[in-house]
Amino acid sequence: MLRAQLTRAQACFKKQADRHRIEHDFDVSEQVLLKLQPYAQSSVANLPCRKLSYKFFGPFEVTERIRSLAYRLQLPPDCRIHPVFHVSQLKPFTPDYTPVLAELPRGPDLTCGETKPVPIMEQRMLKKGDAPVVQLRVQSSNMPSSATTWEDYDVLRPRYPSAYIWEGAPSQGEGNVALADADIERV
- Tell me: the pLDDT tens digits for 127-139? 888 888 888 888 7
Query: For the segment 44-80, what is each residue's pLDDT rounded down to a tens digit?
Result: 555 666 676 777 787 899 999 998 889 999 988 877 7
**pLDDT at residue 158 greater than cutoff 60:** yes
Indicate the domain borders of the chain. Answer: 24-108, 117-186
Question: What pLDDT score does 173 carry?
Answer: 41
Confidence of residue 172 (pLDDT cuts 50, 70, 90): very low
**pLDDT at residue 29 greater than cutoff 80:** yes
Classify domain 24-108 by CATH architecture: Roll (2.30)
Question: What pLDDT score does 9 carry?
Answer: 95
Domain 117-186 belongs to what topology? OB fold (Dihydrolipoamide Acetyltransferase, E2P) (2.40.50)
**pLDDT at residue 5 greater than cutoff 90:** yes
From the centroid of its chain, how far is CA 98?
Answer: 25
The span from the CA of 184 to the CA of 169, in Å, is 9
Q: Which of 78-102 are b and which e, b meaning 16 or more Cβ less than 10 Å from the residue's Cβ?
A: ebeeeeebebebbbebeeeeeebee
How do beta strands 90-92 and 31-35 pair? Answer: antiparallel
Find the range with the poorest average confidence among 10-19, 24-33, 159-168. Answer: 159-168
Question: What pLDDT score does 186 carry?
Answer: 47
For range 29-40, the mean pLDDT: 78
